A and B are shown apart, each in its own frame.
Chain A
Amino acid sequence: MSLITNLEALLEEEGVIFLAYGGLFTQALIAGMTEALEQKSEEADIPVGISNKLFVIFIELSQNLMHYTKQKVFDPLNLIYVLKQSDHYSVCSQNSITKEEKEILEPKLLPLKDASKDEIKQLYKVARKNGRNAHEKGGGLGFLEIAKKSDELEYVFEPKKDGTYHFKLCAKLKI
């Protein structure tokens, strides 16, 4: 299935697409998209407390894609989108990763799936405290930030024929 039909199907089945982007990620693009999200949120009268969480989730996922895909060949399947469904917003991202990358990501995500708000807050505090200047890339604190700002986290690693994985993550935020 092509990307376009995929998005069209999403639009029909899932709700209103606020924003969708695929391909190369740069800081300027992320800032532009965040600005567009700000405008959309204002038009939709989303309370500031919720919209700011939405922006942070969007930024975390986009910057993850930017850092993660920097040294790699361009992959049009790198995708981010924001959906508005009946009672919540979803920010989703997807990209291709290797088996080794999956083995790094999965243990970071696993404890977040069923953790309570309070458990996430504690995990976040510990991760943030760890070592001055330890600005690691690869989603340690980033995933915790997303879990902290959202109400539900879903992810899947879909195996591909060539041994790599299609990594999809959605963070839901109740309106």
Chain B
Amino acid sequence: MENLKIEASKYTPLITMDIQKGEIEIRGKSYPENTFEFYKPVLEWIENYHNTSNPSLTLNLEIIYFNSSSSKLFYDLFDLLEENSDAFKPVINWIYDEENESALESGEEFMEDFEDLNINLVEKSGQTAS
């Protein structure tokens, strides 16, 4: 299992997956043409995370805006983390710009749907890098 990096495009976020740090970062906009294909490496990486000695996994999600199939994908991603709660002790940081109320709303809805997951809403002040 290796660290993984996917560069951002106009319609897909930057993704870094770091085994040593036990950290996944997804940052940017998300509206791929085929969402499931695009995020497949992320889901597979998490499924294989059992094989590492790292006792915890942090997911930093900073999505400016995203389409409905990305929303579905993030739901599945959270679902996968919840299933592996005992093994990974996952922490999710939902990072949003203070002016971006629709991103805040989305984060709150994920918290409602995944009460057992450790989700933090993290407000960022100033302009979001795009």
Residues of chain A at the chain B interface (Cβ within 8 Å) = 27, 30-32, 34-35, 38, 47-49, 52-53, 55-56, 59-60, 63, 66, 121, 125, 128-129, 132-135, 141-142, 144-145, 149
Contacts and interface: CB of A to CB of B under 8 A. Distances in A.
B66 interface: yes
Contacts of A34: 10-11, 31
B123 interface: no
Contact of A60 (B35, B67, B113): B67
Given A128-B71, A128-B72, A142-B68, A35 B102 contact: no
B10 A52 contact: no
Contact of A141 (B68, B76, B101): B68
B102 A53 contact: yes
> Which of B64, B67, B79 gathers the greatest number of chain A CB atoms within 10 Å?
B67
B97 to A, nearest CB: 7
A145 B30 CA distance: 14
Given A35-B10, A49-B101, A52-B103, A60 B109 contact: no
Chain B, interface residues (CB within 8 Å), range? 20 to 34
Interface in B90-130: 97, 99-103, 109, 112-113, 128, 130
Contacts of B67: 56, 59-60, 63, 142, 145
A35 B72 CA distance: 23
A168 to B, nearest CB: 20
Contacts of A63: 31, 33, 67
A53 B36 CA distance: 22
Contacts of B100: 48-49, 52
A52 B65 contact: yes
Contacts of B33: 27, 63, 66
B10 A31 contact: yes
Interface in B39-95: 64-69, 71-73, 75-76, 79
Nearest to B66: A56
